Structure 1
Amino acid sequence: MCGIFCSIYQPQQDSESSKQWNICKDAIAARGPDYFMEKHFMLNNDWHGHFAAAVLWMQGSKITTQPSLDDNDNLLLWNGDIFSGCLAKDDVCDTNIILAELQSTTNIMSVLRKMEGPYCLVYYQKSSNMLYFGRDIIGRHSLLLKVDNKSNSLTLTSVANKEMREIVEVPAIGIFVMNLNMSQINLACYPWKEPDLMFTDVIDLLETNLNVDIDIKETISNTCSSALTNLHLHPEPKDVEYLENASCNKDFNEVLQCLLKNQEVNERVESLSKLLHQSVKIRIKKKPNYCKECIKIVLNDGNVICAHSKIGVLFSGGLDSAILAAIAHEYIPEDESIDLINVAFERPESQNQSMNNMNEKRNVMQKYDVPDRKTGRQTYSELLRMYPNRKWNFIECNITQVELQLYRASRICDLLYPLRTILDESLGCAMWFASRAKGVLYPVNEIYESPCRILLLGIGADELFGGYMRHRTILKHKGWDALVEELSIELNRISERNLGRDDRIVSDHGKQSRLPYLDENLVKHVQQMKPWERCYPTEKMPSGLGDKLLLRLLACKIGFQYTANFPKRAFQFGSRIANGKENANDVSNRL
């Protein structure tokens, strides 16, 4: 994970570039505490370039510095991980692999087609005088863009703040190019997929916001596009007979056990399990084997054997995070602890409660007795039962209203920017405090701050497996066609709705979020399934069973008895940061 910054400006506008950099540099540096460097170049008579990067060492046997230059003076700013595909290699940093691949060809898009994994990049090709930038096809990392037509400058940055007016998120619809042979700001876009109505809407909005015409080029790839979106989908009675028969049982666990006896169902669960195991495995294995503190010793040429936690799970105790924790256990040495990070926010009314008649411990329990704390402890107990030889650190992060207000105003509001809704605020705050991972260990009540540098997040599971209540509503009123279309739209929009924001939030702590459910191979596999094979949110299968049915079957097969049936609960409500009376889509006046 890195923080990257690029400013392309005209020689007489050097002060404007410096102004943008001064706004961004502290937030950029927080993302990459292991190394920092910046470079200034005269690209040609019309354009100068300011490139900077802060590196979080996550790959290779030693740290690779950035900005990276090759022998031909091509320059790469890279924030990403190649987890699979023909370019994936163990013990070699992706930065070096990508830079060498790009140097070896004049066809940049041929390299991009081969890249599998979360990333954003900025690449300057010296021979053509072209600047390429963009996010991966799913949009798992943040990249922001500001075009200033008055000063004729373009700025790209992983993160900014509220001072940087008119900045936008680079949409994850393709790779953008600026031709530096022209003296004015110009943009073209190579779409990831064949342009559709959604693509056109995004481009139109981007052109309006930037006041720049964008030239649409040929399509790069068709990876991760849904093969089912335009089909007329409705199951025949025989297609869902086994689901209807199983749902007659009142006991949810027995329904799942019954379904797993069906050969086709069991094979689907096995296929999903295999892909999810592969996804979690590579996201655990691809890292230096040092925690946040021990890596400082190594970077200062010291020697250390690190036995501390290196992997954490953002852990509500719900279905998605429970499955990730169980699979992670398979690939982490048994003598190494795994951190389960559970966040709860103080109830506003509890500030006024007198402690005179309560002991302190009981008072804390009541203040932070939120839904996610209850399910978290319950699932933690299940993990202890299933894997008794593993040390699980269940971290209770209790956030007071005073602390929430302080960091929301001083830090989180800038990380969220340019997003500003109440939903962004509540989810962003919950994610920031969870990924900070400071709290007390349950049940021993010892103060603990997680030293892990990698966090596994369950993002994407609801969009893939039909986990939201609206999916049930859509199916009831509009049918399976409408549901599969909704699932496809949600996945296409997850980059603008969630992923850029969450990347900016988590990375602020010098940690990297890794998202196993959004692995390309897993996404492609699930999208090719019929919707009733991944969820069955009908009246016969109530909440806690029909939603995310395929994941519930996997949890049951893994050995979870209670967690497999926990109903979906939004993070902002489970941690009790959100006010249900507010409209989530309104602009927040607290940011």
Structure 2
Amino acid sequence: MCGIFCLLYSSNSDESKAQSIIDTCSSPIQRRGPDSFKQLTISEDCATCTFLASVRWTQGANMSVQPLEDSEGNVLLWNGDVYSMTSEDNSLSKEPSSESDSAQVFCRFSKFGVLKTLKHIQGPYSFIFLNRKTKQLWFGKDPIGRHSLLMKCTSTSLLVTSVAHKSISNIEEIPSTHIYSLDITCADFQSGLKEHKWKRNISICPVLKAYHPKTPSKDIPPPEEVTSFYQNIANTAQGDKQTMMTLLESYQPLCDNVTRLTELLTKSVESRVRTQPTHCIHCQTVCSHCKTGILFSGGIDSTVIALLAHRYVPLTEPIDLLNVAFEKNQNYNVPDRITGQSSLRELTSLCPERQWNFVEINITRKELEEERSKNIKDVIYPLETVLDDSLGCAVWFAARGRGTLQSCDYTSSARILLLGMGADELLGGYTRHRTILRHCSNDWTALRAQLEHEVLNIPRRNLGRDNRVVCDHGRQSRTPFLDETVVAFLLGLPSWQRCWITEDLQQVGGQAPLRMLAWKSGLKVASNLPKRALQFGLKDST
């Protein structure tokens, strides 16, 4: 995980203003990558390009200090995780224990070009690459848009950065639908900026066809036997969720989807847990401290991730479950604290050999206002809505990892934080999804269109913000539900196979495959928890 920054400005620009932008962004860029920080300035014809890069080491036998430079003068700033990278003949060429992914990507960018390289990569990333020979500056993010990258372009300057400041006006989140390039010698940067749209026929990256469809998909209605099956469950269970889940186990098509989802999600969690150094953020050598944490509300998303992470984190290491509560009526007994404790009991029962660190992060009204004003508003910028503030504050304090563990002060040493983002958009987890189906007379195509809209919208609305907020503490955010294979599989299912959210099944039908995955894994209580938005009681505290 890294902080990356590039400011390109022509000789017609105000150099003092350029330096002010560099100074403003330097500190938040450094916080994203406390292991190294480097500045590089290059002059090319009538333009000057200043790069800043910080690194939080997460891959490779040794850390690669950025910006990377090669003998031809090319420059790369890479903020990402490569979980697989195929060669031109589609064979796997990325070895988990080899050199850092940034070094591998740099070599390929220089040899094959940016677009040809990116179509072979799976994993979250944002990047900035300068090709000195062609004088082209390339930048962008992965097609799911999991990492933050902001841009402000004028006729005489171009700013591309992982994180900015609210004093920098008119900066925007870069869309995940395109990769961008700019000839740094052109007279007008705005007119010279080119967009390179992802091509859907790239078979190597299966998410592209599902994630960037040419036209909205249509759902065929569920067969009558499916409708009847669910109706019979509702009539038999009479509102009892445990009975509903037991009866759903007899539905083979659902179980087949659950089996496939379990395989893909398990592999996704495995790669995100195992791809990191063997020491925590506080140590310099191999240690047994916690290295993996989970933003843990106790809901089904975070609890399933915790259970799967248990399989791959060594038993000699604890797993931190970071649970935030904002002061409400002078106490912290908010809903997510209650569900967190409930799900902790289930995890402890299922995995008694694991040390689960349930970190209670209690935030007073005073601390909330202080940090919101001093840090959080700048980190979530350019998003500024009340909801962005609410969610940004919740995730920021959780990712900081400072609270109490069994009534003693504790700060998480986790380098990697797993988040459950994306599950609701992919699997219809919210009340609004049920409302759409009801208002559209059970038109499943309308629901599918809404789910596709939300999935395509989360890079701009959620993922960039959450990445900036988590990484502000020098930790790496990783989102298992947004692995390319998981996304492609779920988007390939009809909406009624992802959720059955008619009124008769109440909340059990929302996220049905995930709930069944939890149920079959032994999470009997968590599988039936109602869905709530991630705000940890903040709405009631402001």
TM bracket, shorter-chain basis: over 0.9
Match of 1:566 in 2: 529
Which digits, 9 at most, give the CA deviation of each residue in 1:365-399, with x for residues without a partner?
Answer: xx001000000000000011101111000000000
Which digits, 9 at most, give the CA deviation of each residue in 1:385-419, with x for residues without a partner?
Answer: 10111100000000000000000000001001111
Contact 2:219 2:494 (C-alpha < 8 Å) held by counterparts = no
Match of 1:357 in 2: none
Matched, 1:274 2:274: no
Contact 2:296 2:303 (C-alpha < 8 Å) held by counterparts = yes
Matched, 1:468 2:430: yes
Question: Normalising to structure 1: TM-score of the pair?
Answer: 0.86
AA aligned to 1:108 is V
Match of 2:176 in 1: 172
Matched, 1:555 2:542: no
Match of 1:292 in 2: 281
AA aligned to 1:464 is L
1:82 positional shift = 1.0
User: In structure 2, the residue corresponding to 1:154 is in which secondary structure?
Assistant: strand
AA aligned to 1:225 is H
Match of 1:197 in 2: none
1:425 positional shift = 0.3
AA aligned to 1:578 is K
Matched, 1:452 2:414: yes
Contact 1:466 1:535 (C-alpha < 8 Å) held by counterparts = yes
Match of 1:59 in 2: 59
> RMSD in angstroms over aligned alpha carbons?
1.8
Matched, 1:434 2:398: yes
Match of 1:27 in 2: 28
Q: What are the equivalent positions in structure 2 for 1:233-248 lying under 5 Å apart?
A: 233-248=220-235
Contact 1:227 1:528 (C-alpha < 8 Å) held by counterparts = no
Please give the alpha-carbon distance, in whole angstroms, between the structure 2 residues aligned to 1:102 and 1:193: 18
Contact 2:143 2:208 (C-alpha < 8 Å) held by counterparts = no
Which of 108, 127, 134 is matched with 2:133 structurally?
Answer: 127
1:240 positional shift = 3.3
Please give the alpha-carbon distance, in whole angstroms, between the structure 1 residues aligned to 2:531 and 2:85: 33
Which digits, 9 at most, give the CA deviation of each residue in 1:55-74, with x for residues without a partner?
Answer: 00011011101001122211
Deviates more, 1:454-463 or 1:235-244: 235-244
Q: What are the equivalent positions in structure 2 for 1:70-81 lying under 5 Å apart?
A: 70-81=70-81
Please give the alpha-carbon distance, in whole angstroms, between the structure 1 residues aligned to 2:210 and 2:296: 30
Q: What are the equivalent positions in structure 2 for 1:414-429 lying under 5 Å apart?
A: 414-429=378-393
- Identify if the C-alpha distance between structure 1 residues 552 and 232 changes in structure 2 by more than 3 Å, giving closer, same or farther: closer
Which digits, 9 at most, give the CA deviation of each residue in 1:235-281, with x for residues without a partner?
Answer: 12123333222233132122222222333222211100000000000
Please give the alpha-carbon distance, in whole angstroms, between the structure 2 residues aligned to 1:564 and 1:401: 32
Which of 336, 339, 360 is matched with 1:396 structurally?
Answer: 360
Please give the alpha-carbon distance, in whole angstroms, between the structure 2 residues aligned to 1:372 and 1:228: 39
Match of 2:373 in 1: 409
Match of 1:312 in 2: 293
AA aligned to 1:34 is D
Please give the alpha-carbon distance, in whole angstroms, between the structure 2 residues aligned to 1:378 and 1:89: 39
Contact 1:226 1:527 (C-alpha < 8 Å) held by counterparts = no
User: In structure 1, the residue corresponding to 2:504 is in which secondary structure?
Assistant: coil
1:116 positional shift = 1.1
1:144 positional shift = 1.0
1:16 positional shift = 2.8
Matched, 1:330 2:331: no
AA aligned to 2:243 is E
Please give the alpha-carbon distance, in whole angstroms, between the structure 1 residues aligned to 2:209 and 2:76: 25
Please give the alpha-carbon distance, in whole angstroms, between the structure 1 residues aligned to 2:430 and 2:293: 25
Question: Normalising to structure 2: TM-score of the pair?
Answer: 0.93
Show structure 2 runs of 5+ residues with no match. 87-92, 201-206
Which digits, 9 at most, give the CA deviation of each residue in 1:504-553, with x for residues without a partner?
Answer: 1000100011000000110000011111111001011102x011111100
1:229 positional shift = 3.5
- Identify if the C-alpha distance between structure 1 residues 491 and 432 changes in structure 2 by more than 3 Å, giving closer, same or farther: same
Matched, 1:192 2:173: no
Deviates more, 1:71-80 or 1:225-234: 225-234
Matched, 1:480 2:486: no
Please give the alpha-carbon distance, in whole angstroms, between the structure 2 residues aligned to 1:529 and 1:228: 16
Match of 1:535 in 2: 499
Contact 1:313 1:340 (C-alpha < 8 Å) held by counterparts = yes
Match of 1:182 in 2: 186
Match of 2:218 in 1: 231
Match of 2:166 in 1: 162
Please give the alpha-carbon distance, in whole angstroms, between the structure 2 residues aligned to 1:180 and 1:21: 19
Please give the alpha-carbon distance, in whole angstroms, between the structure 1 residues aligned to 2:468 and 2:278: 24
Please give the alpha-carbon distance, in whole angstroms, between the structure 1 residues aligned to 2:497 and 2:166: 44
Which of 84, 107, 126 is matched with 1:100 structurally?
Answer: 107
Match of 1:353 in 2: none
Q: Percent identity?
A: 40
Please give the alpha-carbon distance, in whole angstroms, between the structure 2 residues aligned to 1:156 and 1:405: 29
Please give the alpha-carbon distance, in whole angstroms, between the structure 2 residues aligned to 1:254 and 1:519: 32
Deviates more, 1:68-77 or 1:324-333: 68-77
Please give the alpha-carbon distance, in whole angstroms, between the structure 1 residues aligned to 2:384 and 2:249: 44
Contact 1:227 1:527 (C-alpha < 8 Å) held by counterparts = no
Which digits, 9 at most, give the CA deviation of each residue in 1:5-64, with x for residues without a partner?
Answer: 101112353333211101100000000000011111112x12111111010001101110
Deviates more, 1:107-116 or 1:325-334: 107-116
User: In structure 2, the residue corresponding to 1:540 is in which secondary structure?
Assistant: helix
Please give the alpha-carbon distance, in whole angstroms, between the structure 2 residues aligned to 1:228 and 1:154: 32
AA aligned to 2:453 is I
Q: What are the equivalent positions in structure 2 for 1:334-353 lying under 5 Å apart?
A: 334-347=315-328, 349-350=329-330
Match of 2:336 in 1: 372
- Identify if the C-alpha distance between structure 1 residues 232 and 375 changes in structure 2 by more than 3 Å, giving closer, same or farther: closer
1:227 positional shift = 9.0
1:223 positional shift = 6.0
Contact 1:123 1:131 (C-alpha < 8 Å) held by counterparts = yes
Which of 240, 252, 267 is matched with 1:263 structurally?
Answer: 252
Which digits, 9 at most, give the CA deviation of each residue in 1:80-124, with x for residues without a partner?
Answer: 01113425331221111111111112x431111112111111111
Matched positions, count: 523
Which digits, 9 at most, give the CA deviation of each residue in 1:301-330, with x for residues without a partner?
Answer: xxx330000000100000000000000001
Match of 2:464 in 1: 500
Contact 1:228 1:527 (C-alpha < 8 Å) held by counterparts = no
Matched, 1:17 2:18: yes
